[in-house]
Amino acid sequence: MNKPVVSVSACQRQIEGHGCHMVVNKYVEALRRSAGVEVVLLPALDEGLDPAILARLDGLCLTGSYSNVEPRHFGQAPWPGDCRYDPARDGSALSLVRAARRLQLPLLGICRGLQEMNVAYGGSLRQPLQELPGLLDHREPAADHMDEHYRPAHGIRLNPDGLLARLGGEPEFEVNSLHQQGIDRLGEGLIAEALAPDGLIEAISDPAHPFALGVQWHPEWHSDEHPLYRAIFTAFGAACARYRQRILA
């Protein structure tokens, strides 16, 4: 196999009484189409995965999810309102991010994946955003059609010295928004790549890592229709290819 192999984080779901490991297809499609990689699914296990599994891979993609990171991982209590958690996903994803950081394995985090990156780097999250003064409601709109859920919701402003700007991102543009948690304290070694109008961090990167990028929005949704979204996946795929060549050399 010549293509890089990327692992995608799965979530645990109950379907008709059966525990299932699930990944939404849009992530797999965007990775195969725009990043040019092959994809394998990593299960979500309460006890976590052996980080040694990353030695067999060329990249790690942390997907979005309907669940939130359990607040105990960043020293807070759960909020009492309606919230879905996935302890098994936390158990697998957080340890894998730390291992990917050590190995310099290419890393792409999307929505929940950005939050997992920040927590794994020692940062914390705000929760729930819609109940905090001075912040926008970052949840998806109530709608019958998926395109409405993923329509542009607010603007962001890019860090002119960041990775996203180097990938060709406009200084300001609109993004979709489908989340209840957001970055509070930035993880050690990370920089803010983009900010929302309310000051919430919308993208992060690790400048000491060959490719470690997290975005709060969903670039996988119609990724081919937005030049920067496509560029994010293309750059991730290129980083995975370079990593593979280095390991095989």
Q: Which residues are catalytic?
A: 111, 218, 220
**Residue 86 and residue 133 in contact, taking contact as beta carbons nearer than 8 Å:** no
Residue linked to tokens 């920089």: 191
Alpha helix stretches (DSSP H) within 42-86: none
φ, ψ of residue 191 in degrees (nearest 5): -125, 155
Count CA within 13 A, CB hemisphere, residue 191.
14
DSSP 1-51: --S-EEEEE-EEEEETTEEEEE--HHHHHHIIIII--EEEEEP--TT---G
Contacts 24+ apart (CB under 8 A), 66-72: 66/11, 67/11, 67/112, 68/112, 68/115, 68/127, 68/180, 68/181, 69/112, 69/115, 69/116, 69/119, 69/125, 69/181, 71/125, 71/127
Determine which helix (DSSP H) or strand (DSSP E) holds 213, and give its type and residue range: strand 212-215
